[in-house]
Amino acid sequence: MRIWKTCGKFNGKRALIAALSLTALASWHDTGRGLECQSAELSLRGKLKNWFKLTPVNVAPAPAATAPKKAEGTVAHPTVDNSSPSPAEEPHGQDSASLHESGNEILPVAGYEQGDVLPAPPPAILERQGDELIAPPVIVDSEAANAAAPTTLDMLTAQADRHHPRLMTAYQRVQAARGRVAQAGLYPNPVLGISAPQLDGNESQYNGFVSQEFVTAGKLDLAVKAAQREVTQAKFEWQQERLLVLTELREKFYRTLAIQNRIRVLEHLVHVARHSLESSQKLLLAGEGARGDTLLLDIELQRAEVALQNAYTIYEFSKKQLAILVGVPHLHIPELAGDFAQELRPYELEEVRTALVSVHPRVNIARLEVDRNYFLMQRAQVEPIPNFDVMLGYQRQVGIPAQDQGLFQVTMAVPLWNKNQGNIAAAQRELIASRADVQRIQLQLDNMAADAITNFQTARLLVERHEREILPKARQTLELSQGLYAEGQIDFLRLLQSQKTLLDAELAWIDAHEQRWLAAISIAGLLQEEEFP
């Protein structure tokens, strides 16, 4: 309610000066046992003076901090592009100990201190021109789309960075967050008005006035700092969205590359089955073979050809899905180029866990949420400190004699009943919850890292066993069996078993490599690796 109002009329010699003394103001504190009311003596020259202290609002981003060092291995930490300042000082009239009342202590998060500068997404993709981001283009590159050369993962990654709509959506959210920063720091508009207090002949009065609300206790500055955290969060969300797109693209690429390798194996096996059938037919014509063996070999050839045809079908649809994943549905992908048996660096669990704490966007977004809630709590704490309105005006009184008069008025709300105590308590609990959320996310990422490392190590060992022992023996067995069968020294069942053994070994080797790649891609996604493999 508005209860402070003084008006004065100035006609040269006469002036009316109003003063108000405020002796006490009650404040509420949450002690964990309920809300307790405490009184604080205030004088007009003491804390009341601080109420009228105007804090300048700085909406410009803070200077960029030094980028963190890279972790061991090939983990690329995002480059710092910090658009959010460090935490503000304690608000006027607030003691930091009030956050640590009995039962309400806010515990620190391991590996993170309040106000730590967090890295922003890499500027190589979120390109910068001054302080503005460059949006990815939406026009399809027809020259790249019609390229006939084998398609590499790097080529598809470049297409996804340029055309994927999910990246455009995330980019626009960054811009929207920047708009909220600008809005949060805007000062209230002045008010212009005219009025006629009296309309009665010679006693008529006409006036015009202008009033302005003055914001106290740095409320706008705190609102800007909270909004700046949202900008950096949006950048990390863009980075997270991009790595999700790249992870899906990488997984589909190596799944398709695995199908491409299966096709080559199946083509070889069709050739082997056809050669075995021809050998059986020659033996049958020479009177040394059995009709049943020839029919069974014919069936095996038909099975191999069906498997090959199915692989061709899956391969073509997989390439279409790759084009969709990069945001260019009509992109022509003739063939994939990649070393399916390429050696990958050995990931270690502790290395991955350590790197996740600093590079994963989910962790950084959660930490920024702690910072944002900290400023929102400060903003709630200073809300009871009232703003005040100042009005100046001119009045003309018609009469004999006519008079020119000045108008002056100051109004403010006195926090008598509503001291924002509910919102302050809620903001404190949100801060505690956001700090716990950082730990929850770290535990989730630890669990995901353990699963990915387990899958990677298992697949890697299986690949090594196949390459060192199983595949060489399977190929040697088939070669011996073909020679012996052609000489009539073994029956058909032995040859058929050799063919089946090689088929299973080759396909199992491809499956093991595929699982190895998928596990490595999962780890690379957790580590936010820009380049893979």
What is the token pair recorded at 402?
Answer: 């006519």
Q: Indicate whether 209 belongs to any domain.
A: yes
pLDDT at 4 > cutoff 70: no
pLDDT bin (cut points 50, 70, 90) of residue 402 is confident
pLDDT at 271: 85
* Mean pLDDT along residues 403-421: 93
Poorest-pLDDT segment among 264-268, 281-285, 385-389 = 281-285
Residue type, 414: V
Q: Enumerate residues 6+ apart whose C-beta is below 8 A from 174.
A: 126, 133, 231, 234, 235, 238
Q: Does residue 98 carry a pLDDT above 60? A: no
Judged by average pLDDT, the poorest of 53-62, 174-183, 226-235, 400-409 is: 53-62
Would residue 10 count as lying in a domain?
Answer: no
For residue 263, name the pLDDT band (cuts at 50, 70, 90).
very high
Alpha-carbon span 160 to 323, nearest angstrom: 9
- pLDDT per position as a tens digit, 471-486: 999 999 989 998 998 8
Instruction: Indicate whether 3 belongs to any domain.
Output: no
Task: Check residues 85 and 396 and name the one with the higher pLDDT.
Answer: 396
Q: What is the pLDDT of residue 370?
A: 96
Q: Which domain holds residue 194?
A: 24-94+108-526
As a whole number of angstroms, the distance between CA 348 and CA 450 comes to 10
Q: Would you say residue 296 has pLDDT above 90?
A: no
| C-beta separation of 9 from 406 below 8 A | yes
Q: What digits encode the pLDDT tens for the residues 309-326?
A: 999 999 999 999 999 999
Predicted pLDDT at 417: 93
How far apart are alpha carbons 78 and 123 in whole angstroms? 8
How far apart, in whole angstroms, are the C-alpha atoms of residue 183 and residue 186? 5
Cα–Cα distances in angstroms (integers) from residue 6 to residues 1, 314, 397, 410, 517, in the given order = 15, 83, 19, 6, 77
Q: Which residue has the tokens 């503005």?
A: 132
Count of domains forming the chain: 1
Residue 362 has pLDDT above 90, yes or no: yes
Q: Which residues contact 13 (CB under 8 A, 6 or more apart)?
A: none
Confidence of residue 497 (pLDDT cuts 50, 70, 90): confident
Q: How confident is the model at residue 148 (pLDDT cuts 50, 70, 90)?
A: low
What is the pLDDT at residue 111?
42
Give percent of the chain with pLDDT exceeding 90.
Answer: 49
Q: What pLDDT was estimated at residue 225?
A: 95
Tell me the average pLDDT across 390-413. Answer: 90
Predicted structure pTM score: 0.69
Check residues 160 and 98 and name the one with the higher pLDDT: 160
Q: Hey, what amino acid is at 291?
A: R
Separation between Cα atoms, residue 56 and residue 185, nearest integer Å: 10
The mean pLDDT value for 290-307 works out to 87
Question: What is the pLDDT, as a whole number, of residue 153?
Answer: 94
Flag the least confident range among 143-152, 165-174, 419-428. 143-152
Provide the pLDDT for residue 281: 84
- CATH number for position 369: 1.20.1600.10
Question: What is the pLDDT, as a whole number, of residue 120?
Answer: 47
Quick one: pLDDT at residue 288? Answer: 75
Residues 180-206: what's their mean pLDDT?
Answer: 89
pLDDT tens for residues 505-527? 989 999 999 999 999 999 999 99
Determine which of 1-10, 197-206, 442-451, 513-522 has the lowest per-residue pLDDT on average: 1-10
27 pLDDT above the threshold of 50: no
Has residue 129 been placed in a domain? yes
| Residue 531 domain flag | no
Q: What is the mean pLDDT of residues 244-253?
A: 95
**Domain presence at residue 533:** no
The owner of tokens 């806010």 is 106
pLDDT at 183: 96
Residue range 414-462, pLDDT digits in tens: 999 999 999 999 999 999 999 999 999 999 999 999 999 999 999 999 9
Is 12 contained in some domain?
A: no
The answer to whether the beta carbons of residues 209 and 393 sit under 8 Å apart is yes
What is the distance between the alpha carbons of residues 168 and 172, in angstroms, rounded to a whole number? 6
pLDDT for 400 equals 74
Confidence of residue 350 (pLDDT cuts 50, 70, 90): confident
Q: How far is CA 124 from the centre of its chain?
A: 16
| 3-class secondary structure, 263 | helix
What order of strands is seen across the sheet that includes strand 191-198?
A: 191-198, 205-214, 388-397, 403-412
Q: What are 53-92's pLDDT values in tens digits?
A: 433 333 333 333 333 333 333 333 333 343 443 333 333 3
How high is the mean pLDDT of the chain?
A: 76
Average confidence (pLDDT) over 158-181? 94
Place 198 in a pLDDT band, splitting at 50, 70 and 90: confident
Residue 466 within any structural domain of the chain = yes
Exposed (0-12), middle (13-18) or buried (19+): which is 304, by Cβ within 10 Å?
A: buried
